[in-house]
Amino acid sequence: MTARWCAALLLAAWPGAGATDPHSGAIEGTALDATGSRPVRKVTVELSGAHLNLRVATDAAGHFAFRGLPAGDYSLDAVRAGYRPDGASSAWRGVRLDAGERKEVEIRMVLEGSISGRITDDEEAPLPGCSAQAADTPLLAGRRLLMPRAASTTDQNGEYRISGLSQGRYYVLVFCHSGIPMPHPLMAAGDPRRQSLEFAPTFYPGVPGLEGASPVNVGPGAEVRGIDLRMSPTPGGLLTGRVGAVDPALLKRPFQIVLRPASPDFNGWPFPPLFPGRNREFHFPVTPGSYLLVASAWEEGPVPVYTAELAVDLKEMPPDPVQLVLVRCPDIGGTVEVEGANAPPVEGLQVLLDPLDSVFTAKQLRAQVNAAGAFTLPAVVPGRWRLSVPGQAKVKSVSVGGIQASPDGFDVPQGGVGPLKIVLSTR
C-alpha cells in the first residue's frame, strides 16, 4: 500500500538551500496526461494554505511552481476544462511543507471522453429536442441502479454530443418528451379523446429497457461517434386522472405527480413532473405499457410527507381515467442499543435514512436518539432505503418488525413497517 502511495505521489524532497529563510519553501510540479507520457499545458493549479491563495497555469512542458512559501499545510487543486484530475492518484492534493522545504508533485489529468450520434424517427427524419443521456450502473446497496452522468439535447439535425465523460461503460438512453398531436376538433386540454404520436424512451441500440441494451465503452479522451438511434412513433393517448385524499385538508397542499415506466431500469430517472392545479386533475400523453404513477405532497420543508402510488398497465388507448389517493407517509419508530466495552451513550446519536430508489423525489431523513435509546423517523416515503448511524460504533444488525434486515437496503411499503431495532457495536 505504502509503495503504491509513493509511486502515485512521486514525492521528492530536497533540502532547501536557504533553510534558515522561513519563506523559501516551494511546491513545484508537472501535469501529465493519463499515460504519464505527455505534459498537459494550461492546467490552472490553485494553492491554498498558510493564509495564501495563489494560482498558476502549467506551461508547455506541463510545469508550474509556487515559490517563497512559508512552512504549512497546503491543498492543491487542478482544473482544465475537458480534463479531470485522475481520481486514482490524488496524493498531490495535500502537501505539508517544512520551513525552506521544496517539494515536487505530479498531477495526472485525464482527458474526458464523449459519445455522439443522431436520433431519427422511423422515416429517417431528424428528431430535435430529444434528451440523450449517458448512464452507468453502479452497485448501490446490492442493487444495480442506472445513474445518469451527462446529457445532451439533439439539435435540428437530430445530432447530440454527450461530453465530459470519465472513462467507463455507459448506456445511452434517449427521451423525446414532446410527441406530435394528431388532428382533432376543438376540445379541452385534458380531453381523453386526444391522440398523439409518442416516442417511448429507448436504450441504444433500440430496445425499451436495459435488457438487450449495448453499453458503450469510453476510454480516456475517446470520441465515440455513430451512436445513432431510430425512434419508432407509437400511437398514444391521454392518461387522465384525479388526485384525492383521505383527509380533504391535504388537497390544499402543493403536490406533484410523476409518471415513469414500471421497469426497475427507470428507477430514479427524472421524468418531468406535473403540478396539477386547483381541480387536482392531471393528464399525461402515454403509449401502451406498464407505468408507475407517484404523487407526492409537501407540508413544510423539502421532504414529501404524503404520497400515493399506482401501478397502471395500459393496453387500450385512450386508457380509463385513474384516481390517486394521497395518504400520510408512515412514521417509523425504533430503538438503538450499543454492545461492547466502553459503549458510548446512545443519546444524541442520529439515525439516517437515505433513499435508494426515487432518488429524485425523496430526501435523506434523520432522527435523534433519546436517552432511552428510542427514535422516530417521521413520514418515510414508501420505497427502498439505506440506514446508517454515524459515530464510533458500527451498525451490527438491524431488524424490521422483528425480521432481520440489511441496513444497506430494506423496503418500506405504503402501510409502513414495524419498529426498527438497531444494534451497534464498538468492536
Partner 1 sequence: MSCFLLALAALAWGQAPPAASLTGVVLDDATGAPVPRTVVTIRTSGSTEDAVAWSDASGAFAFSPIPPETYSLDARHAGYETARFTLPLAPGEERRLVVRIRAVGSISGTVSDADGDPVLHASVELLPAANRSGPLHRSVAHVTTDDRGRYHLQGIRPGRYLLVAFSHEHPPGLSVTTVGQPAEELASGLQFYPKSDRLSAAAPITLGPRQDLDGFDFRLVPQPATSVEGSVILPPTTAPDTPVYVRALSEDTIGFGGSSQVAVNRADGSFHLQGLLWGRYVVDTDLTARGRGYHGMERVEAGQEPGRVTIRLDPLAEVPGAVRIAGGTGGLPQHLRIRLVPRDPVFQLMNLDPEAEVGADGAFRFESLPPGAWAVEPAGLPEGWYLESARLGDLDVLAANMPVSPGTNAALDIVLGAQGAVLEGGSKPAAHILLAPAGPLANLLSRYYTTTSDAAGLFKISGIAPGAYRLYAFDRLDAEPGEYPDLVRSLGDSGESVELAAGSHTSRQVGPVSTAPLEEAK
Interface positions with partner 1 (CB under 8 A): 23, 41-44, 52, 54-59, 63-70, 80-82, 112, 114, 125-126, 128, 155-156, 161, 163-164, 180-189
Nearer to partner 1, 158 or 268 (CB): 158
Nearer to partner 1, 45 or 424 (CB): 45
Q: What angle do CA 278, 282, 287 make, to 5 degrees?
A: 175
Task: Provide, rounded to whole angstroms, the least separation between the CB of residue 128 and partner 1.
Answer: 6
Task: Provide, rounded to whole angstroms, the least separation between the CB of residue 69 and partner 1.
Answer: 6
- Other C-beta atoms closer than 10 Å to the C-beta of 261 total 19
Nearer to partner 1, 139 or 186 (CB): 186
Which sign, positive or negative, has the C-alpha torsion 266, 270, 271, 274? positive
Distance from C-alpha of 66 to C-alpha of 343, rounded to nearest angstrom: 48
HEC readout, 60-114? CCCEEEEEEECCEEEEEEEECCCEEECCCCCHHHEEEECCCCEEEEEEEEEECEE
Task: Provide, rounded to whole angstroms, the least separation between the CB of residue 396 and partner 1.
Answer: 47
Nearer to partner 1, 275 or 402 (CB): 275
Residue 290 falls in which region: left (phi positive, over 0), alpha (psi -120 to 50) or beta: beta
Which sign, positive or negative, has the C-alpha torsion 71, 73, 79, 85? positive
Distance from C-alpha of 250 to C-alpha of 307, rounded to nearest angstrom: 11
Q: Is the bond leading into 205 cis (omega within 30 degrees of zero)?
A: yes
Task: Provide, rounded to whole angstroms, the least separation between the CB of residue 225 and partner 1.
Answer: 12
Nearer to partner 1, 1 or 188 (CB): 188
Task: Provide, rounded to whole angstroms, the least separation between the CB of residue 161 and partner 1.
Answer: 6
Nearer to partner 1, 217 or 404 (CB): 217
Contact predicate 376/367, CB 8 Å: yes
Nearest to 408 by CA among 383, 426, 385: 385
Task: Provide, rounded to whole angstroms, the least separation between the CB of residue 176 and partner 1.
Answer: 12
Nearer to partner 1, 125 or 249 (CB): 125
- Determine how β-strand 281-286 pairs with β-strand 289-298: unpaired
Which sign, positive or negative, has the C-alpha torsion 273, 416, 266, 319? negative
Nearer to partner 1, 164 or 215 (CB): 164
Ordered DSSP codes for 225-273: ----EEPPEEEEEEEEEEEEESSGGGGGS-EEEEEEESSGGGTT--PPP
Task: Provide, rounded to whole angstroms, the least separation between the CB of residue 172 and partner 1.
Answer: 17
- Copy the grid coordinates of residue 40: 498537459
Name the β-bridge partners of 366: 352
Task: Provide, rounded to whole angstroms, the least separation between the CB of residue 155 and partner 1.
Answer: 6
Contact predicate 398/371, CB 8 Å: no
Distance from C-alpha of 230 to C-alpha of 120, rounded to nearest angstrom: 5
Task: Provide, rounded to whole angstroms, the least separation between the CB of residue 47 and partner 1.
Answer: 9
Task: Provide, rounded to whole angstroms, the least separation between the CB of residue 125 and partner 1.
Answer: 7
Name the β-bridge partners of 421: 335, 399
Nearer to partner 1, 28 or 320 (CB): 28
Nearer to partner 1, 232 or 414 (CB): 232
Nearer to partner 1, 237 or 383 (CB): 237
Task: Provide, rounded to whole angstroms, the least separation between the CB of residue 423 and partner 1.
Answer: 50
